[in-house]
């Protein structure tokens, strides 16, 4: 059975036109760059389509589906030579293999169809050399699949929004035009569910289409929004077979969803329970990939499983297609497609409000994740966006809850992570962040009843008061130091300085404050830790170098003693009640992830 697996894409707005090497590479002989869906070449100009969006991830299609053949269909006006190419990594270098050539003259009224010969290349593409003025008007790749393996798919998008009106309205309009309004199979098997946690929108803000649903929701964070979306996707008629979770503040190409749909229709049975994961490309630098799969490392940190690829590069395109092995893999919910049968088997998300809900869900489901070049979204980068209320409190608390509830991350010492975060922030005089680490631990020890209350929004507001109050560096010129030095740079500590630092807890005990260094030093505002620079100083300037902001951190021995007493009290309680705490979470796990619980929690 033949099916279009992907369309040839051109950049469709000015922002993407500046990143057109994601779509095609040319020799400078292009007179019109595809902004209106047409690519014009001068005579003897060449253009290559083995790119992130227009190359075919043939290795992945072979791995995940029953595909047996690839055909290229183009609408071209003029005389040209087409070269079919395949690429693989050979000894770590992209190796180009010519799979066929044809000289063609076309008036543009009929499709030009060429067939790729059988090969084992990882990525397929094509090159065109013009022998006249040439117009490339569009095209697509077709795949031939086993008809008996084709599945009936009802794909439903669930996107949760909260005060991101401009993004969500634009994305829905784009999906309406790029999927729902097309005369293609997917149009009759795709529905959109908008869950509005902020309740700042109304149904009239979106196109009038029976396949678009609007659900005003309580502000229950990402976990609550996606739980509502899963429930609604199950209730729709016909019931969704797959739920695609997507962030609101993203830029999406409808083609990513089309490719996801075709992949699901033709997936082999062994991958029918797998998630489809979309890459997060960086909005500010659209050629860079932040992540398409993540992992939790041995100390409980969320990190990308792959390097930061530059998708202008064919080498990086090929590396991205490799299989990356690792423990604790997860798919973030900026673009994550989950089979409904997995939701029905494993339940809904935990009521964690925000941070780590997607990690917990992937690990609880033991998710296998399918990824592919050209499937993903653009999202604002996370550089310089650290806040202790999110990165300390929410992440620490939620991972502890997830570990206790689902039994995930058995080899990760999350309690040790709490201790380290507390200690590092005390030593940096960031007492608010140190307190948030204890607060995360204390709220975890309150047991499941605590998170089963709808207090997520109130907790976020309360914890925000303990974040560093950053202001522009230009307002701090009277500090008397170089405000713009690298805060992450540090030198080696000598033996005496290291032990004096440890014994005195960096001047907090056994050491007169008058003997501490008075000149401030610049340190990182986030997880960065520079002990030699910080040693035995009274004042720090915690700097965010991306946003050029900072905050003064002064030593406060009274606050230190208060927090130390609280620290010892917390860990004494934990050591006495650890098993009971875990047992309570484990017993409540089925309730917290049930539709009955979530209906009551959400008020539906």
User: What is d(CA 351, CA 268) in angstroms, rounded to the nearest whole number?
Assistant: 33
Kindly report the length of the chain: 604
DSSP letter string over 446-487? Answer: T-HHHHTSS-HHHHHHHHHTTS---EEGGGGGGG-S-TTS-T
So what's the pLDDT on residue 479?
Answer: 77
Cis peptide before 238 (omega within 30 of 0): yes
Residue-wise pLDDT tens digits, 548-566:
999 999 999 999 999 999 9
**103-136, pLDDT tens digit by residue?**
999 998 889 999 999 999 999 999 999 999 999 9
The pLDDT tens digits for 523-534 are 999 999 999 999
For 158-177, the pLDDT digits (tens) are: 999 999 999 999 999 999 99
The pLDDT score that the predictor gives to residue 403 is 97
The residues with which 537 forms a beta bridge, in sequence order, are: 517
Other CB atoms within 10 Å distance of the CB of residue 445? 17
The pTM of the full predicted model, rounded to 2 decimals, is: 0.95
Name residues whose C-beta falls within 8 Å of residue 74's C-beta, 6 or more positions apart in sequence.
8, 82, 111, 112, 113, 114, 136, 138, 139
Beta strands across the sheet bearing 279-282? 250-252, 376-379, 279-282, 289-291
Q: Which of 362, 356, 371 is nearest to 289 (CA)?
A: 371
Structure tokens at 492: 């080696």
The pLDDT, as a whole number, for residue 326 is 81
Domains of the chain: 2-147 (2.60.120), 155-379 (3.90.550.60), 468-555 (no CATH)
Using the structure block, give the residue that is written with the tokens 């010969």: 117
d(CA 438, CA 397): 10
pLDDT at 384: 80
Predicted confidence (pLDDT) per residue in 286-335, tens digit = 999 999 999 999 999 999 999 999 999 999 999 999 988 888 999 999 99
Return the number of other C-beta atoms located less than 10 Å from residue 502's C-beta. 12
Nearest to 358 by CA among 236, 275, 264: 275
Do strands 539-544 and 376-379 pair parallel, antiparallel, or not at all (unpaired)?
unpaired
Which residues of the chain are modeled with pLDDT < 70? 32-36
The per-residue pLDDT for 571 is 98
- Looking at the DSSP bridge assignments, the partners of residue 128 are 47, 82
């Amino acid at each position: 059975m033949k099916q279009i697996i992907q369309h040839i894409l051109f950049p469709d707005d000015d922002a993407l036109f500046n990143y057109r090497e994601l779509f095609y590479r040319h020799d400078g002989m292009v007179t019109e760059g595809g902004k209106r869906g047409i690519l014009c070449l001068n005579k003897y100009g060449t253009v290559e389509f083995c790119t992130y969006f227009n190359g075919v991830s043939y290795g992945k299609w072979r791995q995940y589906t029953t595909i047996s053949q690839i055909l290229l269909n183009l609408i071209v006006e003029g005389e040209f030579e087409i070269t079919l190419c395949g690429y693989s990594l050979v000894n770590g270098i992209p190796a180009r293999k010519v799979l066929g050539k044809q000289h063609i003259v076309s008036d543009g009224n009929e499709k030009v169809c060429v067939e790729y010969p059988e090969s084992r290349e990882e990525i397929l593409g094509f090159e065109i050399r013009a022998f006249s003025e040439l117009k490339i008007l569009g095209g697509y790749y077709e795949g031939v699949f086993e008809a008996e393996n084709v599945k009936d798919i009802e794909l439903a998008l669930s996107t949760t929004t909260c005060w991101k009106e401009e993004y969500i309205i634009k994305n829905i309009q784009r999906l309406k035009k790029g999927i729902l309004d097309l005369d293609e199979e997917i149009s009759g098997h795709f529905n959109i569910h908008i869950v509005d946690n902020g309740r700042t929108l109304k149904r009239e803000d979106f196109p009038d289409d029976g396949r678009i649903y609007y659900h005003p929701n309580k502000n229950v964070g990402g976990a609550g929004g996606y739980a509502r979306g899963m429930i609604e996707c199950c209730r729709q008629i016909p019931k969704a077979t797959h739920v695609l979770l997507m962030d609101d503040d993203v830029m999406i190409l409808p083609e990513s969803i089309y490719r996801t749909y075709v992949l699901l229709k033709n997936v082999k049975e062994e991958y029918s329970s797998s998630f489809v994961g979309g890459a997060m490309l960086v909005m500010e630098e659209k050629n860079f990939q932040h992540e398409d799969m993540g992992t939790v490392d041995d100390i409980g940190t969320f990190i990308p499983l792959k390097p930061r690829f530059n998708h202008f590069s064919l080498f990086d395109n090929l590396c991205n297609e490799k299989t990356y092995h690792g423990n604790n893999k997860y798919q973030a919910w900026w673009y994550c497609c989950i089979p409904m049968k997995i939701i029905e088997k494993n339940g809904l998300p935990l009521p964690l409000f925000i941070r780590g809900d997607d990690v917990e869900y992937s690990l609880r489901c033991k998710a296998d994740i399918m990824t592919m070049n050209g499937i993903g979204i653009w999202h604002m980068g996370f550089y310089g966006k650290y806040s202790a209320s999110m990165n300390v409190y929410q992440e620490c608390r939620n991972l502890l809850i997830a570990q206790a509830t689902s039994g995930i991350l058995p080899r990760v010492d999350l309690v040790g992570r709490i201790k380290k975060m507390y200690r590092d922030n005390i030593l940096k005089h960031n007492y608010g962040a140190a307190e948030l680490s204890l607060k995360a631990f204390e709220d975890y020890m309150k047991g499941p009843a605590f998170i089963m209350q709808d207090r997520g929004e109130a907790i976020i507001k309360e914890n925000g008061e303990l974040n560093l109050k950053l202001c522009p560096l230009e307002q701090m010129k009277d500090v008397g130091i170089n405000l713009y030095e690298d805060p992450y740079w540090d030198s080696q500590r000598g033996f005496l300085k290291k032990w004096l630092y440890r014994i005195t807890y960096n001047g907090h005990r056994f050491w007169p404050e008058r003997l501490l260094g008075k000149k401030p030093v610049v340190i990182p505002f986030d997880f960065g830790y520079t002990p030699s620079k910080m040693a035995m100083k009274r004042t720090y300037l915690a700097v965010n170098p991306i946003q050029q902001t900072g905050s003064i951190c002064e030593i406060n021995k009274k606050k230190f003693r208060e927090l130390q007493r609280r620290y010892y009290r917390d860990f004494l309680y934990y050591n006495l009640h650890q098993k009971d705490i875990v047992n309570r979470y484990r017993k409540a796990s089925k309730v917290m992830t049930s539709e009955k619980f979530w209906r009551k929690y959400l008020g539906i």
